[in-house]
Structure 1
Amino acid sequence: MSQLNSSMTARLIFLLIALLLFPFLLYSQTAPSLLTRYERTNGQETATYPEIIAFYQQLDRQYDQAKLIEAGTTDIGKPLHLLLLSADKRFTPTPGKVMLLVNNGIHPGEPEGIDASMIWAREMLKANRVPPNVLIGIVPVYNVGGSLNRGVSRVNQNGPVEYGFRGNARNYDLNRDFIKADSKNAVSWQRIFQTYKPHVLIDNHTSNGADYQHILTYFATQKDKLHPMVSGYMTKTLQPELDKALTSRGFEPVPYVNNFTDTPESGIAGFNDAPRYSSGYAALFNCIGFVVELHMLKDYPSRVKGTLAFMEEALRLIQRDATQLTTNKREADAAVSRQTTFTVSYKPDRSKVDSITFRGYAARYKPSEVSGLRRLWYDRSAPFSKQIPYWNTFVPDVQVQKPTAYVIPQGWSEVIDRLKRNGVQMQPLARDITLEVEVYYIADYKTGQRPYEGHYLHTGVQVRTERRQLPYYKGDYLIPVNQPANRYIVETLEPQGVDSFFAWNFFDSILGQKEHFSDYVFEDAAADYLKHHPEVRRKLDERKAADKAFAESAAAQLEFVYQNSPYYEPTHNRYPVARVR
């Protein structure tokens, strides 16, 4: 009997232990490994989208210093995730704490940042090395739709075995969508940026173009577009020390090789990063942006290690200089609030040139086996190191004086939504009112003949200015230009801006004339109008004397009279965003 009791007791104990261990055993069988696909395949493969998200979910569960959030949706219908790392477990912006935002997979066929960030985050958490004065944000995959569309579309690239596609679920290149925000991805990303207001942005990519020895290239936010308070630190401290550290680790960097019409030894031009790009968008808010470009022809493990080295060294310097970074941005924001003159378009100044050390391969030519014609190739048996020119100075092309405020009718809701999402302070009018304003008329512009990222871009915009008394209505918006978002406001609302909302077609309906005339009827009215308005007759005669083609065109002359008469609609070509002085 005692043996029976002993046996039953042993079974009960075993059952109890099994019940206690069951959740752990089940979790162990279903929990994803914290060893990445990249590591498991010796650097030959990149993680799939489900693996990436499962990996970060596991970090969230395992470490209190990590928090994975869904920051919005994307065009594929899946969420845009953001991993936050904070030593003190406070995952919101904190005064005195610098914010670093890392963006991965904007082009999922360029996946170095995806794999490098997974390893980077894991190792920081394992070693308890999240800096106490830095809030780190990592976007695991920005272009979710492109990540799910795996294949081998980048024929020029040396690995990995399979990867995502450049276009997103709507075939947008998201690195042209930062200012216009056509995609849900960009809408969610802008909310991340405006919520956390990063001091530094790292956007990870792979290069295209020439062959050369360097593994790592990058460009920073164009120095002449940043406020001097931020640009001075970036060019004199952050970049030189970052370059030195990367060189000591075997990743000697050079500026992004932005040369697709000639070989690199002829020189490299700085990248004109307009606000459509991540670094150009960041510049509007006094944020230093780095676009990291690993060389497409280097093996994939070298590219991942180079990306990891860039992030590690950048974080080391950001941690060291956190106080300076936060002070610089705070003072730059205040200065921009007071700034009166803004540049809305830049052009390169080729008269100013620097010299950089470039390690390349000799460019040679031989007959093509495809066409039989002359083709370029790079001779890796003939490496060289020499000084080449680097043009990285940009000067204002178009400048404007800011008004006291802009006023925008509430009907332009697409623009208003974008302004609000980007932190622009706006005041709805409390009642109907007539205001004296300065209005633009679009005098001339050129439009692309082929679509570009879903739009037919306007360039070369010319305007004329008139002062008018115009009615505005309760619910229309007054936008004061005395705030840190001033650069964003001016560069998007001034129609001559290279990436203005006018350039991206948000106001195209004003370009269409809604009423016209029948010439045989208007002939008599036009003649009568000229009799009673000799000043218009005088202008007509002067134009005929100066322009032979005009003098020989009855239709053109009738149109001239119409446009100088009260019958011509006053809203045709009138830009709807007015300036209040």
Structure 2
Amino acid sequence: MKTKLLILLSIATFQLNAQSILPPIQEWHGKSELLIANASNKWITTAETSAFTKTPTYDETMSWFKKLADASPFITMTSIGKSPEGRIIYMVIASTEKTVTAASLKKSGKPILLAQAGIHSGEIDGKDAGMMLLRDIAFGNKKSLIENVNFLFIPILNVDGHERSSSFNRPNQRGPQNMGWRTNAQNLNLNRDYAKIDTKEVQSVINVINEYDPLLYMDLHVTDGADYQYDITFGGLDGQGYSKSISNWLDKTYKTQADKDLIANGHIPGQLLFALNDRDFSEGNILASGEPRFSDAYGDARHTASVLVENHSLKPFKQRVLGTYVLLESTLKILATEGNSLKESTITDRAKRESPLPMKFKVPQMDDKVNFENLSIAKLKEDVVAAPDSLKLLGIESKIVKSKVTNTDYVEWTGKPVTMTIANFKATEPMDLVVRPKGYYVPIWCSEVIERLKLHGIQMEILKEPKEVAVEMYRIQDAKFQDDSGNVLPYEGHMQVKGIPVPEIRKEVFPAGSVYISTDQPLGDLTMFLLEPKSPDSFLSWGFFNAIFQRTEYIEAYVMEPTITKMLADSPELLKEFEDKKASDTIFANDPNTIYTWFYSKTKFYDERYLLYPIGRNL
């Protein structure tokens, strides 16, 4: 018993000191420290009273906001949904408008900023920064920030994960002491859910986007990975993606001014950083716009200016929170002065009807199988001829060390600041181009998909009576239910599928209650990403149509044998095709069931809807 107790104590001691073995920390002080409230301030936050070692619980946070809203005419608190465990997801609105509704805020003509924190609830800097900023708007000297801008703030999106709090949740992050969990109560990653919208949390956010139509949408995160000098990173794909005019505004107008404000307050802003080899920057940095499963890429797909913020996990919690405060304040100021130019850029992008539309992008000359969620497999081809951009990196020195445990190499960060020039690869080459159809017919029995399309805010027409139309449809060949490594594993609650969509023209009858979706609408591009099989975030890819991959009628051998004999006797061409296939495919030649199925598929008895994707493209 004594030995067991000593072991438990030693484990506990290690866990309690786990953050002490993080890479060396650089001492930091900045002008933004002046934002910290005086201890006598009635509205001082938990982060401030604890010297930025703690963050408040869900109940403490919402109680604080309710009191703030009751005390200030400029702060309103509203429910936008409930979590799987029944917690209310609150949104706080800061506005000088007398009536605070989606309609009234839009009617005001003022730019609307929507910022959310805690989509990964261990990455909670945004919540504490938002509390401080809203306090100062209500009772400090920052009311002017909302005179020309309406501010929507979601303090905690992943409210259930937030309450799965522990000091052991994020070992790569330096504070606070208590951190929430990455996924929600269903073990789903909310920032992989924007396309398929399984979760109540993301459905709530998309409903806010549809109702309020924010001019700019910010998603506040904290990194997991490599060490560098920057404490706050965002942006970097200038003029790229699906909303090029918005992207140019974000790069040239927004990031330029926000960087100045951060630097003036003692912070070190940078572009988003993802090491190409997933450990250090010796092989360069890589940037990709991602798929619309991610918040910022989803915003890009629906032509809403979207900013992904990644605070650096190895910087002190205080530094990260204060940097987020400065960025939020800067964003409000920029929208007040430059909101009209962003509106013009948004109108431009929403009016475009690009065709063909790429379903994704890759780095020029890079292997198109690069998985940007697992950058460790990213490898350049030997024949790369397009030089990447260069990036002046304010880095931290690293060295390769041989592990005494695994006998393999790992990276050790020394804490010494270094400046280096590295390759900066950008995913800008279009892939899987799809010609834009006039629209899509979705049959009534695809009710789950129709409902999710509605949740996205996509406009559609419901057929009042059956309609026969000539459409292009896909038959999905060579379907594989596995990832790039050949593993057959569930991902975010789904069995994903990849296949080759082979088009065919058909006359199809769509029953009454089916829907027609025109692509000539602001969310036309998003419609294509959700319905085109080539899209990695289509409903087909997420497994919503897996039933098309099963055959439900069969034919017995005693029927096939005489049928095949007659087929071969009647068609010398079929006989030659059969012999050639046996000669070229030994697996086929030695598998009787496969041979029977091959002949069966050439009869009128075969299910002509097998592998047929049921969505019709109106050309």
Instruction: Work out whether the TM-score is over 0.5.
Output: yes
Q: Which residue of 2 aligns with 1:40?
A: 49
- The question of whether the paired residues in 2 share the 8 Å contact of 1:444 and 1:463 is answered with no
Between 58-67 and 394-403, the greater mean CA deviation after superposition: 58-67
Q: 1:282 aligns with which of 299, 310, 313?
A: 299
Aligned partner of 1:125: which letter? A
Q: 2:131 aligns with which of 106, 109, 118?
A: 118
- The question of whether the paired residues in 2 share the 8 Å contact of 1:257 and 1:264 is answered with no
- The question of whether the paired residues in 1 share the 8 Å contact of 2:243 and 2:301 is answered with no
Structure 1 520/219 Cα, relative in aligned 2: closer, same or farther at 3 Å? Answer: farther
Q: Report 1:439-478 matches (<5 A).
A: 439-448=473-482, 449-459=488-498, 461-478=499-516
Counterpart check, 1:349 vs 2:364: yes
Alignment length (residue pairs): 546
Q: Which residue of 2 aligns with 1:10?
A: none
Counterpart check, 1:151 vs 2:166: yes
How far the C-alpha of 1:427 sits from its partner, in A, is 0.9
Higher Cα radius of gyration: 1
Gaps of 5+ in 2: 1-40, 366-385, 483-487
Q: Which residue of 2 aligns with 1:130?
A: 145
3-state secondary structure, aligned to 2:197:
coil
How far the C-alpha of 1:44 sits from its partner, in A, is 1.0
Distance 1:283 1:392 in 2: 16
- The question of whether the paired residues in 1 share the 8 Å contact of 2:172 and 2:225 is answered with no
Q: Which residue of 2 aligns with 1:21?
A: none
Distance 1:472 1:536 in 2: 35
Q: 1:365 aligns with which of 397, 400, 409?
A: 400
Q: 2:529 aligns with which of 484, 491, 498?
A: 491
Aligned partner of 2:460: which letter? M
Q: Which residue of 2 aligns with 1:51?
A: 60
Distance 1:137 1:535 in 2: 69
Counterpart check, 1:518 vs 2:553: no
How far the C-alpha of 1:105 sits from its partner, in A, is 0.6
- The question of whether the paired residues in 1 share the 8 Å contact of 2:232 and 2:268 is answered with yes
How far the C-alpha of 1:332 sits from its partner, in A, is 1.7
Distance 1:90 1:144 in 2: 28
Aligned partner of 1:261: which letter? D
Deviations 1:103-154 (A, max 9, x none): 1011111110010011111112223223333221111100010011111211
How far the C-alpha of 1:232 sits from its partner, in A, is 2.1
Q: Which residue of 2 aligns with 1:101?
A: 114
Q: 2:604 aligns with which of 550, 566, 569?
A: 566
3-state secondary structure, aligned to 2:474:
strand
How far the C-alpha of 1:223 sits from its partner, in A, is 4.3
Deviations 1:291-317 (A, max 9, x none): 211111111101111111121222221
How far the C-alpha of 1:168 sits from its partner, in A, is 0.7
Aligned partner of 1:518: which letter? E
How far the C-alpha of 1:180 sits from its partner, in A, is 1.0
Q: Which residue of 2 aligns with 1:413?
A: 447
Distance 2:92 2:151 in 1: 8
Distance 1:305 1:233 in 2: 25
Distance 2:467 2:576 in 1: 37
Q: Which residue of 2 aligns with 1:7?
A: none
- The question of whether the paired residues in 1 share the 8 Å contact of 2:238 and 2:251 is answered with no
3-state secondary structure, aligned to 1:321:
helix
How far the C-alpha of 1:431 sits from its partner, in A, is 1.0
Distance 1:493 1:366 in 2: 47
How far the C-alpha of 1:340 sits from its partner, in A, is 3.1
Structure 1 538/325 Cα, relative in aligned 2: closer, same or farther at 3 Å? Answer: same
Structure 1 366/435 Cα, relative in aligned 2: closer, same or farther at 3 Å? Answer: closer
Structure 1 83/158 Cα, relative in aligned 2: closer, same or farther at 3 Å? Answer: same
Q: Which residue of 1 aligns with 2:411?
A: 376
Deviations 1:267-290 (A, max 9, x none): 110134211110011111111222
Counterpart check, 1:195 vs 2:181: no
How far the C-alpha of 1:454 sits from its partner, in A, is 1.0
Between 510-519 and 570-579, the greater mean CA deviation after superposition: 510-519
How far the C-alpha of 1:356 sits from its partner, in A, is 2.2
Structure 1 426/532 Cα, relative in aligned 2: closer, same or farther at 3 Å? Answer: farther
Q: 1:386 aligns with which of 410, 420, 429?
A: 420
Distance 1:254 1:385 in 2: 13
Between 263-272 and 277-286, the greater mean CA deviation after superposition: 263-272
3-state secondary structure, aligned to 1:490:
helix
Q: Report 1:394-413 matches (<5 A).
A: 394-413=428-447
Counterpart check, 1:261 vs 2:299: no
- The question of whether the paired residues in 2 share the 8 Å contact of 1:199 and 1:286 is answered with no
Aligned partner of 1:358: which letter? L
- The question of whether the paired residues in 2 share the 8 Å contact of 1:216 and 1:295 is answered with yes
Distance 1:124 1:62 in 2: 12
Structure 1 520/144 Cα, relative in aligned 2: closer, same or farther at 3 Å? Answer: same
Counterpart check, 1:330 vs 2:347: yes
Aligned partner of 2:442: which letter? I
Between 149-158 and 130-139, the greater mean CA deviation after superposition: 130-139
- The question of whether the paired residues in 2 share the 8 Å contact of 1:180 and 1:504 is answered with yes
Deviations 1:512-555 (A, max 9, x none): 11112222332112322444455544543443454444345443
Distance 1:507 1:397 in 2: 23
Distance 1:57 1:446 in 2: 51
Deviations 1:454-473 (A, max 9, x none): 122224x3111111112221
Distance 2:405 2:193 in 1: 37
Q: Report 1:199-348 matches (<5 A).
A: 199-219=215-235, 223-259=239-275, 261-335=278-352, 338-348=353-363
Structure 1 523/256 Cα, relative in aligned 2: closer, same or farther at 3 Å? Answer: same
Distance 2:313 2:591 in 1: 58
Structure 1 434/530 Cα, relative in aligned 2: closer, same or farther at 3 Å? Answer: farther
Q: Report 1:542-581 matches (<5 A).
A: 542-581=580-619
Distance 2:68 2:176 in 1: 25
RMSD over equivalenced CA pairs, Å: 2.1
- The question of whether the paired residues in 1 share the 8 Å contact of 2:236 and 2:287 is answered with no
3-state secondary structure, aligned to 2:395:
strand
Structure 1 344/90 Cα, relative in aligned 2: closer, same or farther at 3 Å? Answer: farther
Between 129-138 and 533-542, the greater mean CA deviation after superposition: 533-542
How far the C-alpha of 1:238 sits from its partner, in A, is 1.9
Aligned partner of 2:397: which letter? A
Gaps of 5+ in 1: 1-31
3-state secondary structure, aligned to 2:399:
strand
3-state secondary structure, aligned to 1:130:
helix
How far the C-alpha of 1:87 sits from its partner, in A, is 2.1
Aligned partner of 2:491: which letter? Y
- The question of whether the paired residues in 2 share the 8 Å contact of 1:117 and 1:138 is answered with yes
Distance 2:236 2:391 in 1: 16
